[in-house]
Amino acid sequence: MDVLIVEPLEPEVLQWIDARHPVRFAPQLDRDPRALRQAMFNVRALIAPASVALDAQALHFAPVLRAVGRLSAGTENLDVDAFARAGVEIVRPSTASAGAEAEFAIGAMLQLLRRVPVRSNDGLLVGRELSGATVGLVGMPAAARPLAELLGAFGARVVGYDPALHQSDGLWERWKVAPMGLRELVECSDVLCVLLHYFSRYQGLLGERFLPHCKPDQVLVSLGHSSLFDEAALAEAMDSGRIAAAWFDSMEPNMLDFGRPLRAVRNLQVTPRVAGTTRESRIRGAWAVVRRIDEILSETPPPKYPFAIDVSLADRGKAIYAPNTKGQQVAIERAWAAAGRRLRRSSASAHSASRRPALTPSQRIGSGSQEGDRWPTQGRTVIGSSLPVMRAANVRPARLVAATPSPT
């Protein structure tokens, strides 16, 4: 099997990728991490929703994995460094949701500016307009371009900051955004819009160094990860009135629990990551992901000579790392020796010594028909790839889990 799809896709997209590669569509696996890992052994590409966490340990269960697709633009629940070390590409639709996110941000700004009034010079509580306002963009992803265009049409002044983009870069001029430092930006912005993609080095970036300097009655709209903010500093800025209202389209589940700083804050609205989720953006994103996955799989041939290994011990860590320089036979011998020692130490009932039972069709995964496919096991799911061929086919060394043999 080449492609495992756990995220619902449009029918025409599924048909397109299914016509090019063997596909298994199993959206129910997003609720069963153990079953998902067992299903990943011979998968070369995985398309999964952002709710599915994949880390370095998960990669041990996917020795031939080459790509992981996400319809969302973020990398939450993905160990990016582990994927890079393993040579697994994270495929995301970098621009598919840009227009949807820009429209959502404009709607949130308009709503907060009108819904949370400020006191005018004559003492009346009134709303505000985007026209003539200064909007500060923190982060310059793909959504920043259509957002800057829409803000310009409203007559707003657009300024921006991105820690990964130098102020001399030509992008600022092309997108009609005036670059400035983060401190200066928060001091002059009537609306602060956070679009920055989250990386661990940016955790708490918007904290006590910058939020105390926000322009009074500032409106905050954040489409980025809530970990970009220091929650105590944010709560203090909102309580003091420097930030009059805030809208987060993504917030960690426990940040509004009792005892947390933001629990009692007024004028805070949270939506469950819906900014980039529209029918049109999902269709664009799905096409972008499957086309890139098709390119990756076409460039890398599938591994040959599959062999069978028992993964029933995987959850208990009873695994053997077989060096691909020694070859498949060494890996098999080590696995069998370790399994035999465990079997002799236990008082498990003996199997028949006269025959080796064949694996059932549900246990056999792959197209091989060599003797290695018929190892006797007591396990549940068996799968694997020949280690010598892994090297030739540019595949990572597999994590070999010992089969439990029949005593002979």
The pLDDT value recorded for residue 67 is: 95
Q: Do 113 and 89 share a domain, yes or no?
A: no
Q: Do 52 and 138 share a domain, yes or no?
A: no
Q: Name the most confidently modeled range: 92-96, 363-367, 389-393.
A: 92-96
Q: Name the most confidently modeled range: 112-121, 224-233, 364-373.
A: 224-233
Q: Do 115 and 211 share a domain, yes or no?
A: yes
Q: Do 215 and 284 share a domain, yes or no?
A: no
Q: Do 111 and 253 share a domain, yes or no?
A: yes
The confidence band for 254, taking pLDDT boundaries of 50, 70 and 90, is confident
Handedness of CA 271, 236, 225, 260 (dihedral sign): negative
Return d(Cα 338, Cα 352) in angstroms, integer.
Answer: 20
> Which stretch of 93-107, 253-267, 392-406 has the lowest confidence by average pLDDT?
392-406
Return d(Cα 2, Cα 126) in angstroms, integer.
Answer: 59
Return d(Cα 25, Cα 39) in angstroms, integer.
Answer: 11
Q: Look at the chain and report how many structural domains it folds into.
A: 3
Say whether pLDDT at 406 is over 80.
Answer: no
The pLDDT value recorded for residue 312 is: 45
Q: Do 60 and 32 share a domain, yes or no?
A: yes
Say whether pLDDT at 194 is over 50.
Answer: yes
CATH number of the domain where residue 66 is located: 3.40.50.720
Q: Do 216 and 133 share a domain, yes or no?
A: yes
- Chain length of the chain: 408
Return d(Cα 206, Cα 228) in angstroms, integer.
Answer: 6
Range of the domain at 148: 98-276
Residues forming beta bridges with residue 160, ordered by sequence position: 137, 179
Q: Do 45 and 105 share a domain, yes or no?
A: no
Q: Do 257 and 323 share a domain, yes or no?
A: no
The pLDDT value recorded for residue 76 is: 74
Return d(Cα 300, Cα 319) in angstroms, integer.
Answer: 27
Mean pLDDT, to the nearest integer, of 210-225? 95
Show which of 299, 333, 358 is a domain's final residue: 299
Q: Do 68 and 203 share a domain, yes or no?
A: no
Specify if 163 maps to a domain.
yes
Q: Do 75 and 116 share a domain, yes or no?
A: no
Specify if 376 maps to a domain.
yes
The pLDDT value recorded for residue 303 is: 66
Specify if 196 maps to a domain.
yes
Specify if 309 maps to a domain.
no
Specify if 406 maps to a domain.
no
DSSP state string for 49-80: -TTS-B-HHHHHT-TT--EEE-SSS--TTB-H
The pLDDT value recorded for residue 226 is: 92
Specify if 73 maps to a domain.
yes
E strands, 342-388, are none
Please write the tens of the pLDDT for every residue from 146-165: 999 999 999 999 999 999 99
> Which stretch of 9-18, 75-84, 238-247 has the lowest confidence by average pLDDT?
75-84
> Which stretch of 70-84, 88-102, 174-188, 281-295 has the lowest confidence by average pLDDT?
70-84
The pLDDT value recorded for residue 385 is: 38
Please write the tens of the pLDDT for every residue from 365-389: 333 333 333 333 333 333 333 333 3
Mean pLDDT, to the nearest integer, of 230-255? 93
Specify if 304 maps to a domain.
no
pTM for the model: 0.68
Q: In this structure, what DSSP letter does residue 382 have?
A: B
Q: Do 68 and 207 share a domain, yes or no?
A: no
Specify if 308 maps to a domain.
no
